[in-house]
Chains A and B, each alone.
Chain A
Amino acid sequence: MKKILIYSLITVFTFSMLLIGTSCDKAGEAEEEVTEAVTEAVVEEVEEEEEEEEEEEEPVKFTFWHIQTVAEQALLWHDLADEFMAEKPYVNVDITGYENENFKAKLTTVMQGGEPPDMFQSWGGGTMIEYAEAGLLRDITSFMEEDNWASDTFTTGLSAFKYQDNYYGVPRDMGIVGFWYNTDLFNQAGADIPTTWAELLATCQTLKDAGITPIAIGEGDKWPGAFYWEYLATRIAGEEGFNAAYSRTGSFADESFVEAGEALADLVAINPFQSGFLSALWEADASVAFANGDAAMILQGQWGAGQFESVNADIMDKLGWFPFPEVEGGAGGPYDAIGGGNGFVIGKDAPDEAVEFLKYISSVDSQIKQVELGMAMPVVKGAEVAIEKETDKLIAEGLSKAEYYQLYYDQFFPGAVGSVINDSIQGIFAGTLTPEQCAQAIEDAVAQEMD
């Protein structure tokens, strides 16, 4: 009797597992169906009209993944897709928006499965090159040569999406990392805008003395802290130092990279960060702390303003921006910049329509809307006119003055190296790695990958 009971239980479990499997699929489909239903309705409408023209084209469907979580920004992609689909009724754009970290995790799994989305968010650089080498991306060079698409795009931005003379995608945004600050809190503490690293340390002390948390950081994400080390390395080692280490004539364990770590350790020693910064996340914690006026500064990219505004619109009146301070005696120039931007690449199996859609959303009009929504610094000639915010002007000025422009290390290098860089720098923030150990860990990872 007992055995019969056990076996029937097992059978029920097995079947229920199978059912769970199938119902999961259905749940996923249900979500898609909602978006599909909307787009299909549009498609059907126009298709009816077109029947008169006799020539019916095969329906084309492609997927588009972006990482815009601010509602107005995500809506822009949907609006543009609707416009595009109205022009080409046989096309169906399947849009999915992911949160940044989730996007990276999800993309990795589909890439390892060999099935990339047709059009998706990318920062170019080493990670993109890895995908291109594995044959997961589509070469769109021939499309870019038409209608001045390539020549209308700023070369600094475009070069991040180039690999062996071929383009695999285009940027939509290009900017530099710098300090966003709260002018109210600075006035309140009587703090000055620092132009050198030593002054930055002094400013942090002044703010602390006034009872204000000087810097917010989401070091749980790791890349926000890596900006500090990378910028210090850019200031101290300069373009030559970096190129020597990258081309393997020098080393990332060289004195200048250790000094970058030491300068960062000096900052960490003052403890200028909000409490719990080691596990804090950029979007959920650090940007919230800064936008709510709980911290005076935050080192972030050009996308900062858009995020702060979505958290607390009041911050916009007191939002300031200054470039990363100089380091006395460093080899790098004062305008050299760490930066990068967002763009889209095309998956290997994407139809031509996906590339056409990419071109469509890279238009000057689209760029102007992106600038207005605070989600981009323009990369297409003619869109600069849209820059109105004072802070955006400062970033654009910093970008134009940069003689040496370095893509963030974690995107410039292949994933394996980028992740070691971010992990090791977090060690300096936590005090578990010395500047020497951090530089050596980065050097080891680079050596393993490049030599």
Chain B
Amino acid sequence: MKAKRDDDISRTEPRESRYIKLKDRLTITWFLLPAIALFLIFLVYPIIQSIYYSLFDWKGFGPAVDFIGLGHYIRILTDKIFLKAIGNNLIIVVLSLAIQLPIALMLALVVGRKLRGRGFFRTVFFMPYILSEVITAIMWMFLYNADPDRGFINAIITLIPGLEARAWLGELNLVLPAIFVVLTWKYFGFHMLIYMAGLQNIPTEVEEAALIDGANKRQLITHVTLPLLGGTIRTSVYLSVLGSLQVFALVWIMTKGGPVNASELMSTYMYRFSFIRFELGYGSAVAIVMLIIALIFSLTYRRILARPDYLA
């Protein structure tokens, strides 16, 4: 098809082709205009505005007048709590990649195949993803309640001799793992769905051929299915890392980044300074730093890892 169309164009008169091109361009511009307008108004403009405010010591009320240059950025990069927040974000990234995605992949391999009642399992696994973050957070706060009379998890645990009720969200070293459990519960279904879509794109002939050549189930998965899923896995890793860097609502509702910054993330840190400590200038600077971190990851990842499959 493509070759034929190229032929057509080469045969037409130059002037006419230019005319068509111009007409095409006009059409393209018209179609792109709404998207570009939305993009500029809701994305580019706020970013520029944030950069502007990040250079001021500004409380968020009235005009910004107290110019301090890059002072906020220096403070951010030397603030122990922000560094801790980055650390917590990285912990969530690593745990997501090491635990959440493999679980999702395993489940996709199981329920993506012939299995009785797979439709039922798919629905059940995907259900947490449909719930809103607020509802998820509040539901898990009930489950995690420190009082065994009120919290389901502690009620179960205290039935087992030798185990004591724990304050899952109130202990400094438990709170982050507790939050990670909720994140995994909520998002593994989404990644499972991505993997299932990837699996559908693998032609059954390839796998049949491997089986005929004498590959066992394990070899089939490690040598045929997984390599062919490469692109899908890379997409899912990409989404998972970016998602982990942006977690907010769930954590803010459950712990507000506490106790004492134990579950502080970059986003909760930004919110605290912008809307609780009334340092919107500083909060804007934090937002810009977050943007830069996500952008650096995004660009390097695409450059280094997101090569097409046939080059891998």
* Residue positions of A touching B, CB distance < 8 A: 14, 104-105, 108-109, 111-112, 114, 130-131, 133-136, 219-220, 222, 274-280, 289, 294, 414-416, 419-420, 423, 426-427, 429-430, 432-433
A289, B151: Cα distance in complex, Å? 14
With A134-B62, A276-B147: A430-B277 Cβ-Cβ less than 8 Å = no
Tell whether, in the assembled complex, residue A279 and residue B278 are in contact, meaning their CB atoms are under 8 Å apart. no
- Could you say which residues of chain A place their CB within 8 Å of the CB of B256? 220
Tell whether, in the assembled complex, residue A275 and residue B165 are in contact, meaning their CB atoms are under 8 Å apart. yes
Tell whether, in the assembled complex, residue A134 and residue B276 are in contact, meaning their CB atoms are under 8 Å apart. no
- Could you say which residues of chain A place their CB within 8 Å of the CB of B260? 278, 423, 426-427, 429-430, 432-433
A-B contact pairs, 28 of them (CB 8 A): A14-B34, A104-B276, A105-B275, A108-B60, A109-B275, A112-B61, A112-B280, A114-B62, A134-B59, A136-B61, A220-B255, A220-B258, A220-B259, A222-B258, A276-B145, A277-B167, A278-B258, A278-B260, A279-B170, A280-B170, A414-B278, A415-B277, A415-B278, A416-B278, A419-B272, A419-B278, A430-B172, A433-B260
Tell whether, in the assembled complex, residue B169 and residue A279 are in contact, meaning their CB atoms are under 8 Å apart. yes
Task: Across the interface, name the chain B residue whose C-beta is closest to A422.
Answer: B276
Task: Across the interface, name the chain B residue whose C-beta is closest to A127.
Answer: B278
Contact check: which of A14, A219, A274 meets B259 at CB < 8 Å?
A219
Tell whether, in the assembled complex, residue B278 and residue A130 are in contact, meaning their CB atoms are under 8 Å apart. yes
- Could you say which residues of chain B place their CB within 8 Å of the CB of A108? 60, 275-276, 278
Please classify the interface of chain B as helix (H, G, I), strand (E, B), loop, or mixed, using the class held by over half of its residues.
loop
Say how far A73's CB is from chain B's closest CB, in angstroms. Answer: 24
Tell whether, in the assembled complex, residue B170 and residue A131 are in contact, meaning their CB atoms are under 8 Å apart. no
Tell whether, in the assembled complex, residue B61 and residue A279 are in contact, meaning their CB atoms are under 8 Å apart. no
A277, B172: Cα distance in complex, Å? 12
Tell whether, in the assembled complex, residue A278 and residue B171 are in contact, meaning their CB atoms are under 8 Å apart. yes
Beyond the given pairs A279-B170, A279-B259, 15 more chain A to chain B contacts, judged by CB atoms under 8 angstroms and listed by A's residue number, are: A108-B276, A135-B62, A222-B258, A276-B169, A278-B258, A278-B259, A278-B260, A280-B146, A415-B59, A415-B277, A415-B278, A416-B279, A423-B260, A426-B260, A430-B260
A130, B169: Cα distance in complex, Å? 34
* Residue positions of B touching A, CB distance < 8 A: 34-35, 38, 59-62, 145-147, 165, 167-172, 175, 255-256, 258-260, 262, 272, 275-280
Please classify the interface of chain A as helix (H, G, I), strand (E, B), loop, or mixed, using the class held by over half of its residues.
helix
A429, B171: Cα distance in complex, Å? 12
Tell whether, in the assembled complex, residue A276 and residue B62 are in contact, meaning their CB atoms are under 8 Å apart. no
- Could you say which residues of chain B place their CB within 8 Å of the CB of A275? 146-147, 165, 167, 170
A318, B259: Cα distance in complex, Å? 32
- Could you say which residues of chain A place their CB within 8 Å of the CB of B278? 108, 130, 414-416, 419
A274, B154: Cα distance in complex, Å? 15
- Could you say which residues of chain B place their CB within 8 Å of the CB of A111? 60-61
Task: Across the interface, name the chain A residue whose C-beta is closest to B58.
Answer: A112
Tell whether, in the assembled complex, residue B172 and residue A432 are in contact, meaning their CB atoms are under 8 Å apart. yes
- Could you say which residues of chain B place their CB within 8 Å of the CB of A274? 146-147
